[in-house]
Amino acid sequence: MKVLSTVQMRVVDGDTIRVGSERIRLRGIDTPEMSELEGPAAKRRLEELLRSGSIRIEPRGRDVYNRLLADVFVNEQNVADTLISEGYEKTRS
């Protein structure tokens, strides 16, 4: 379990963050890409959530792009669940 400050964290898009050199992919959600209509809004919301409290990252493995797959919590709330409940998940075609 790691608790991190947001100083060392950067949001890449709505479902990926970078901590130092490590790319971390939120487990359980796929948000629109930055080139898609809702992509920038999803990124902004993730940034807001990560600034709103203490962050805990629970690694769950690696994806096909070698990004760390993780459950990310802010104030013990799962960030992916919050984004899904707020409608930021990409609609499946």
Q: pLDDT per residue over 2-38, tens digit each?
A: 555 555 789 999 999 999 889 999 999 999 999 999 9
Specify if 92 maps to a domain.
no
Structural domain containing residue 76: 2-85
Confirm whether 67 is a catalytic residue: yes
Catalytic residue among 25, 27, 45, 56: 25
Specify if 90 maps to a domain.
no
How many structural domains are present in the chain? 1
Catalytic residue among 10, 33, 38, 47: 33
* Residue 55 near residue 10, CB atoms below 8 Å: no
Specify if 93 maps to a domain.
no
Specify if 14 maps to a domain.
yes
Catalytic residue among 27, 45, 67, 89: 67
Alpha-carbon distance 32 to 22, whole Å? 21
Specify if 22 maps to a domain.
yes
Specify if 91 maps to a domain.
no
Tens of pLDDT, residues 73-85: 999 999 999 999 9
Length, in residues, of the chain = 93
Tens of pLDDT, residues 38-62: 999 999 999 999 999 999 999 999 9
Buried/exposed 57-70: b ≥16 CB within 10 Å, e otherwise: beeeeeeeeebbeb
Task: Return the number of other C-beta atoms located less than 10 Å from residue 36's C-beta.
Answer: 13
CATH number of residue 71's parent domain: 2.40.50.90
Specify if 16 maps to a domain.
yes
